[in-house]
Amino acid sequence: MLRFLRPLGRFAAYIFAGVLVIALIWFAANRLFDEKPDPLRVAFVSPPEEPLSDDQNIAVGILGLGAPRGTDFLKFGAHMKDLYDRRVPSAEIQRSFTAPMSCASALRTMKSTAGWTLRTTDPRVVYRSNAHPKY
């Protein structure tokens, strides 16, 4: 009655050995045929030797997007970067960002007083004001 267990165990061992051989071949092929790292990768990933000047740093330009109207956004961004570097309290930084004539405050004013017209691909939806969409 237990005679069939021996061939069944041998069959399972062969299946296990086959799967193990296939996994080892796959692992070896994966390691041997893998692309070698690019030698310029280290130069790309590492920071530059000397820091970028403010007129070439995109982060300074992004910080300057809240500049008051009529001022140079790069100078404003350099000023904001200086505030962040000096660890100025966040309330003062927020006051600088929401200056009375800054682009951010003007955008908020336009959004709250004037309605927006939204164009969508759905011709049924039309935004005429800050109210809910009308179908």
77 in the same domain as 26? no
67 in the same domain as 17? no
Instruction: Name the pTM for this structure.
Output: 0.40
Task: Tell whether the model's pLDDT for residue 57 goes beyond 60.
Answer: yes
How far apart are the C-alpha atoms of 61 and 76, rounded to whole Å? 9
Confidence of residue 6 (pLDDT cuts 50, 70, 90): confident
The domain of 84 spans: 51-110
pLDDT score, position 118: 44
Which residues fall within 8 angstroms of residue 69, CB to CB, at 6 or more apart?
A: 101, 102, 103, 106
pLDDT score, position 113: 47
Report DSSP state, residue 38: P
The more confident residue out of 27 and 69 is: 27
Mean pLDDT of 98-109: 52
The more confident residue out of 21 and 42 is: 21
From 12-16, 41-45, 48-52, 119-123, the region with the lowest mean pLDDT: 119-123
3-state SS assignment for residue 59: helix
Domain count, the chain: 2
Which residues fall within 8 angstroms of residue 78, CB to CB, at 6 or more apart?
A: 54, 60, 64
pLDDT score, position 124: 52
62 in the same domain as 27? no
- Number of Cβ within 10 Å of residue 64's Cβ equals 21
101 in the same domain as 71? yes
Distance of alpha carbon 114 from its chain centroid, rounded? 32
Mean pLDDT of 31-47: 82
- Indicate the Cα dihedral angle 10, 13, 18, 24, nearest 10°: -150
How far apart are the C-alpha atoms of 97 and 133, rounded to whole Å? 31
- Number of Cβ within 10 Å of residue 104's Cβ equals 14
In a domain, 10, yes or no: yes
